[in-house]
Amino acid sequence: MRVGSLQKRLNGKSQIGELLALLTADPFDPLLQTHKLKGKLSGAWACSVDYDCRIVFNFVQNIESG
């Protein structure tokens, strides 16, 4: 693996962590570009990490809080 490639992966992991924190705080923050998915992943949501990387997720109801 090249050094540049490794550096890009490490930066990506940091960026993913930051975006997960933002996603937890506000899933519809404009920076995330959150959108509903269609087709095989219908019902799921996604947000952009990078041009070729996305986080796919579902909203679940917390049974304890209703």
pLDDT of residue 60: 87
- Residues spanned by the domain of 42: 3-57
CA angle 33, 34, 40 (to 5 degrees): 125
Domain annotation covers residue 16: yes
Paired residues of 55 in beta bridges: 47
**Helix, strand, or coil here: 35?**
strand
Domain annotation covers residue 64: no
Domain annotation covers residue 44: yes
First to last CA, the chain: 48
Domain count, the chain: 1
pLDDT digits (tens, 9 = 90+) for 15-49: 788 888 888 999 999 988 999 999 999 999 999 88
- What is the bridge-based pairing of β-strands 35-36 and 45-50? antiparallel
CA distance 20 to 60: 16
Domain annotation covers residue 63: no
| pTM of the entire predicted model | 0.70
